[in-house]
Structure 1
């Protein structure tokens, strides 16, 4: 089951997302995850979003949600599904960031890409790594699927996070969807007003 990203970036509600230098993104390599990566990716996503350890970075959701962010079945499902992948960013052979990409049908016969499960190791946040991963995800979506747009969903309470994406060309659509209250696979809400908003960015396709 696909669920909108509660956070989809590198901040906690009420914090200010730092503008960062690209130097921290040097010496990165990217690859597509396999099923052998599932345990490490679950741990990475959980560390970025849940619990006290997540407060070392600015992507924590600890003030909005308790419980798990994902589980092995959820990550493996992304890896196995057709038209879907987990993109892994590595440094020195170790995964330090990841995101989900999924091809979806768009209007006028052109596909769009859905971006989710974005996680950066908390102690490495604030150094430009998230920006580099997002740029690579956009490149993959354009070149692999010919996607004309990138879509994502973000919790509306995350004003700092939405602003981070707006600075990178994403536009608020005003189209909202409810948080899946009662489905603890995606966390235990600490507030009763959580909902998602769709953000969209046009992707410039390479010349044919």
Structure 2
């Protein structure tokens, strides 16, 4: 008979970000996508982009945008993830999705996305969720397809020359629109 304690999973809590969260959210997003820390998870963009993913000014702008929520996800009082939800007419936009690299692959993303989709249906009566993903991120796109998003093939240009979005390491980057019926 084992005397080991059963694994305890603490529920996630969700709330809207405020200005006091900005430094922690910048650190979270950067750790999930850029630099060596991001290589601890599977969402890294370090092979495609150098530089920053976001900054304090950008996060503050998201928080201040009308019809927009920067959703903070906590476990035991610690920020473990975030995502941006924005009402855009007949649909909602999903972006700035970041989960701490050490926690990726454990099902948090699926749970957070379900909560985000529930919130936009209830708050804005959104019928679709839209997102854009860097087109060369096949593994990430496949993840979203498994969550019910469909590839549209609609591409928008990557903002080359605007270092607020990073410094591209290749010349073929674009954003692909993914859509899910809610």
In structure 2, the partner of 1:183 is 162
Contact preservation (8 Å) 1:98, 1:119: yes
In structure 2, the partner of 1:38 is 22
Distance 2:37 2:8 in 1: 21
TM-score normalised by L of structure 2: 0.94
Distance 2:166 2:135 in 1: 16
In structure 1, the partner of 2:115 is 136
2:55 is aligned, of 58, 68, 71, to: 71
Runs of 4+ with deviation above 6 angstroms: none
In structure 2, the partner of 1:4 is none
TM-score normalised by L of structure 1: 0.82
- The runs of 5 or more residues in structure 1 that have no matched partner are 1-22, 106-110, 204-208
The structure with more radius of gyration: 2
Q: More relative contact order in 1 or in 2 (CA 8 Å, sep 6+)? A: 1
Tell me how many residue pairs correspond in the alignment: 176
Structure whose residues are more often strand by fraction: 2
Change (3 A) 1:191 1:169: same
- The runs of 5 or more residues in structure 2 that have no matched partner are 1-6
What SS is found at the alignment partner of 2:102? helix
Contact preservation (8 Å) 2:134, 2:174: yes
| Cα drift, residue 24 of structure 1 | 9.2
Contact preservation (8 Å) 2:72, 2:79: yes
